[in-house]
Amino acid sequence: MLCITGNGLKTLDAISGSIADSPIVSPKVREVAALVEAAGA
């Protein structure tokens, strides 16, 4: 039996407080590339 409640690990509530806040970026390649570069990846 499978029950999908909507309150699984896919929700942000399940991990809030466990990880740092994610940066908000525009959907532009330059901004994402700068974020990746700054992270050293």
Q: What is the pLDDT of residue 6?
A: 62
Q: How many domains does the chain have?
A: 1
Per-residue confidence of the chain (41 residues) as pLDDT tens digits?
666 666 555 666 777 777 777 778 888 999 989 989 988 86
Residue 2: inside a domain: no
pLDDT at 15: 72
List helix spans (H) across 1-41. 29-39
Nearest to 32 by CA among 12, 23, 13, 9: 23
Q: How far apart are CA 35 and CA 26, in angstroms?
A: 11
* pLDDT at 29 (0 to 100): 92
Where in the sequence is the domain holding 13, given as residue range(s)?
A: 7-41
pLDDT at 30: 93
- 19 inside domain: yes
